[in-house]
Amino acid sequence: MDEAAIDVRGLSKSFGGRTVVNSIDIRVPKGRIFGFLGPNGSGKTTTIRMLCGLLTPDGGEGTCLGMDFRTQAEKIKEKVGYMTQKFSFWEDLTIRENLEFVANVFCMNRVSERVEKALKGLGLESRADQLAGALSGGWKQRLALAACILHEPEILLLDEPTAGVDPKARREFWDELYRLSEAGLTVLVSTHYMDEAERCHEIVYIAYGDLMAKGSVEEVIAKTKLKTFRVGGKNAAKVREALEGNPAVATTALFGEDLHVSGTDGEALKRLIAPQASENGLSLDEVPTSLEDAFIYYMNRAKEN
């Protein structure tokens, strides 16, 4: 079994009498990219912050980087890089000046060496003297990532890091995460983008404090036991209306002129859909269940607290 960067059991947290994280067990191997999925307010960010010593848990035991995550939180924080969703650097400073400022505020040694290494590693050298305020969303994210790794952390915590960033910049950002992961950095990332979740080595699905599923993307999808059918044609939306509320249907979703219908009993689902498809002159075939199908399935089953 791979050495664990994080190994925690019974992780719990409440705010104002409301349970936000309910006795969760999580093990993250070193050098892996671990994705956290779930609806807004489900406890993803709270979970990540507790794992890395940034928030005190109410219950649980275990280690982070070999240290007790409850009693050695201060030492753990020294080895964590935390990137928030909102850009929080100084727009009237250049990229280089921002990095130098961060390094000096935290009293790092070898400031020039650290800044140059971050600039080179994240492809920021050619823009080092450009004002942060003039950067696009993708370049701002690179600057934020560079600032997070200045102190050479062992764990990188990313809270929806590419929200509002265009697809090309997102892909380039993830390429950098893979490079850092291959160098031994453990990455924890919360995201709502299914394509990003599919790029994680493992994912956990948290809904309103409860851990619903964990494992590789393939394992998380398989645990739903969903079968998915595609209804193709211009009147697919009519079929969706006809299936509304039927207990055999777990999820429905339109993709252009195609309708995807999922349920746990494939044979019953096919018998239900086939007459509707035939009546409306539509095609019907079984397709692989996607992570988005699984995401909606778990979300529909979760009990909001």
Tell me the CA distances in angstroms from 133 to 85, 91, 269, one per residue in order.
17, 4, 53
Q: Is 45 left (phi over 0), alpha (psi -120 to 50) or beta?
A: alpha
First to last CA, the chain: 36
Topology, domain 4-221:
Rossmann fold (3.40.50)
pLDDT above 70 for 304: no
* Listed residue (71, 62, 77) closest to 8, CA to CA: 62
pLDDT tier, 1 (very low <50, low <70, confident <90, very high otherwise)? low
More confident residue, 17 or 98: 98
* Backbone dihedral angles phi then psi of residue 282, each to the nearest 5 degrees: -110, 155
Tell me the CA distances in angstroms from 14 to 241, 265, 303, one per residue in order.
40, 37, 16
Question: What token pair was written down for 222?
Answer: 């398989």
Question: What token pair was written down for 80?
Answer: 């964590």
What is the C-alpha to C-alpha distance for residues 131 and 223, in angstroms, rounded to an integer? 48
Tell me the CA distances in angstroms from 224 to 23, 59, 213, 229, 291, one per residue in order.
22, 29, 9, 15, 10
List residues bridging with 151 in a β-sheet.
none
Please report, as a single letter, which amino acid is at residue 5.
A
Could you tell me if 6 and 62 are in contact, meaning their C-beta atoms sit under 8 angstroms apart? yes
Domain 227-288 matching CATH 3.40.50.720: the answer reads: no
Residue 104 is predicted with a pLDDT of: 94
Q: Show the DSSP H helices in the chain as ranges.
A: 44-51, 73-77, 95-105, 111-121, 137-148, 167-182, 194-197, 217-224, 236-243, 266-279, 291-301
What is the C-alpha to C-alpha distance for residues 227 and 234, in angstroms, rounded to an integer? 23
Distance of CA 5 to the CA centre of its chain: 18
pLDDT tens digits for range 157-190: 998 887 777 788 888 888 889 999 999 999 999 8
pLDDT tens digits for range 183-225: 999 999 988 888 888 999 999 999 888 899 999 999 999 999 9
pLDDT above 70 for 70: yes
What is the C-alpha to C-alpha distance for residues 208 and 23, in angstroms, rounded to an integer? 12
List residues bridging with 285 in a β-sheet.
230
Torsion, Cα of 194, 200, 201, 204 (10° steps): -60
Residue 305 is predicted with a pLDDT of: 46
pLDDT tens digits for range 115-160: 999 999 888 999 999 999 998 888 888 899 999 999 999 999 998 8
The structure tokens 């993830």 sit at 174
pLDDT tens digits for range 3-26: 899 999 999 999 988 899 999 999
Domain boundary assignment for the chain: 4-221, 227-288
Residue 98 is predicted with a pLDDT of: 94
